[in-house]
Structure 1
Amino acid sequence: MTSLEQVLQKIEGIKVIAPSIPYSSYVALDLSIYNQELMNQNLSTATDFENYIENYLKENQAIIAYGGYNETRNLYKRSQVFNTSEEEERNIHIGLDLWTTANTPILAALDGKIHSFQFNNQLGDYGPTIILEHKVDNHHFYTLYGHLSLESIQKLSKGQIVKKGEQIAILGKSSVNGDYAPHLHFQIIKDIQNKEGDYPGVCSLSTQAFYLSNCPDPNLLLKINT
């Protein structure tokens, strides 16, 4: 049987954000622990982070910054969602982030239906989140859209049919999106593990292998600058 990863690679013409913006206006963004420039940046608040993203986009003459899959980050140290005394630190990002301005339209990646949605309102969490359910070539899987506006989840219903390219949401501001600069967290999930409206987007070192297998690189589908 063809793997989900192989199926995703064959699909063309997918966008999940701002359909009118060409990939030539995207720029890669490294937020990993290996980016020395971040050592000199004060990114302790959403305002600091938003200013950093805005300046980075201007410097690179870009509209959207992207990246972050399988990226080890220090961004999560401020949040108890990822750091508790009882559990191993979670700091490895397993989705793809698309950084731009609030209110940017968000699209369904593929035909499917609304599996679940939820306001994950802790500091550092997803904020408003939508999960879609898909079936393609005998593969049953899910796509997650995090850091949305509150309005995006107010009129949804489980099982609601969505079409590829249909606008399903807009990006939220830092006041609702977990206290981040505006961005979409986009993630592909094979086994949702009975979760509703939420699924880990950041994992620990000991669970990295499982989550990378269960959550393939979203750029297999999006094909940004490949």
Structure 2
Amino acid sequence: MTSLETLLRNTQDVKVIDRSIDYNEYIPLDLSAFNPELSKFDIKCAVSFEEFIEKHLTLNDAKVAFGGYNEQRNLYQRSTVFKDEKTEERNIHIGLDLWIKARTPVLSALDGKVHSFNFNAGFGDYGPTIILEHQLENQIFYTLYGHLSLDSLKDLEIGTVFKKGEQFATLGNAAVNGDYSPHLHFQIIKNIAEKFGDYPGVCSKKELPFYLENCPDPNLLLKITA
């Protein structure tokens, strides 16, 4: 059986936001706990965060900032979603973030159907979220799209089929997306278990080996970087 990682590597011409933006207009963004630049703005404020993103894009003459897979972040300390008295802090990001303006079109990575969707409301959460189910050869897997607009969930039905590259959603703003600067959280999931309209996008250090295995690097599919 061909591994999912191999199938992802062999799949070409994949985009999950605005197809008109070429990958040479993308710029990496380091949101790790080790980036001293983050101390220069209020990480708890979505407006300040968006200004930081816009400045980064302008300085680099870019349209999309990307990154975050297997990245340890302090960003989540502002929300109780990621830490309580009973569990280890979750601060390692296991999806890929694409930072761009609200209302940007979101595209299906591959041919697939709607597995589930939900409005994961709450400070620091995904906001509107859609999960698609795909099959490559004999491998069934899922892609998660988080921080969408509320309109993206309107009239959506489980089982609806979308073709590769077809628009099925738009990005939301801070008012609905968990209070973040607008961006897409894109994640690949092998085994989704009983999850419905939601799946962890941030894990603890203890959980990291499991999630790195179950959630392969999205860049294997997108190929933003070689």
Query: Which TM-score bucket, shorter chain as reference?
Result: over 0.9
1:172 and 1:72 map into 2 onto residues whose CA distance is 24
Alpha-carbon shift at residue 225 of structure 1 (Å): 2.9
Matched with 2:224 is: 224
1:183 and 1:42 map into 2 onto residues whose CA distance is 18
Matched with 1:112 is: 112
Q: Does 2:123 align with 1:123?
A: yes
Q: Spell out, residue by residue over 1:106-128, the C-alpha distance to the aligned partner (whole angstroms, 9 max, x if none).
A: 00000010000000001000000
Alpha-carbon shift at residue 41 of structure 1 (Å): 2.2
1:222 and 1:49 map into 2 onto residues whose CA distance is 25
1:44 and 1:75 map into 2 onto residues whose CA distance is 8
Asked if structure 1 preserves the Cα contact closer than 8 Å seen for 2:219 and 2:225, the reply is no
Alpha-carbon shift at residue 215 of structure 1 (Å): 0.1
Alpha-carbon shift at residue 193 of structure 1 (Å): 1.3
Asked if structure 1 preserves the Cα contact closer than 8 Å seen for 2:95 and 2:187, the reply is yes
1:211 and 1:44 map into 2 onto residues whose CA distance is 26
Q: Spell out, residue by residue over 1:41-89, the C-alpha distance to the aligned partner (whole angstroms, 9 max, x if none).
A: 2221110100100111001110000000000000000111101111100
Letter in 1 for 2:115: H
Off by >3 Å, runs of 4+ in structure 1: none
Alpha-carbon shift at residue 2 of structure 1 (Å): 1.4
SS of equivalent to 1:205: coil
TM-score of the superposition, structure 2-length normalised?
A: 0.99
1:11 and 1:135 map into 2 onto residues whose CA distance is 12
1:96 and 1:90 map into 2 onto residues whose CA distance is 16
Letter in 1 for 2:159: G
Matched with 2:181 is: 181
1:185 and 1:161 map into 2 onto residues whose CA distance is 21
Asked if structure 1 preserves the Cα contact closer than 8 Å seen for 2:141 and 2:188, the reply is yes
Matched with 2:75 is: 75
1:215 and 1:97 map into 2 onto residues whose CA distance is 14
Q: Percent identity?
A: 62
Matched with 1:64 is: 64
Letter in 1 for 2:93: H
RMSD (Å) for aligned C-alpha atoms: 0.6
Matched with 2:53 is: 53
1:222 and 1:21 map into 2 onto residues whose CA distance is 13
Matched with 1:2 is: 2
Letter in 2 for 1:34: F
Matched with 2:36 is: 36
Alpha-carbon shift at residue 39 of structure 1 (Å): 2.2
Instruction: Name structure 2 gaps, 5 residues minimum.
Output: none
Alpha-carbon shift at residue 20 of structure 1 (Å): 0.1
Asked if structure 1 preserves the Cα contact closer than 8 Å seen for 2:98 and 2:185, the reply is yes
Letter in 2 for 1:75: L
Matched with 1:90 is: 90
TM-score of the superposition, structure 1-length normalised?
A: 0.99
Q: Spell out, residue by residue over 1:143-163, the C-alpha distance to the aligned partner (whole angstroms, 9 max, x if none).
A: 000000000011100011111
Asked if structure 2 preserves the Cα contact closer than 8 Å seen for 1:24 and 1:225, the reply is no
Asked if structure 1 preserves the Cα contact closer than 8 Å seen for 2:119 and 2:129, the reply is yes
SS of equivalent to 1:185: strand
Matched with 2:99 is: 99
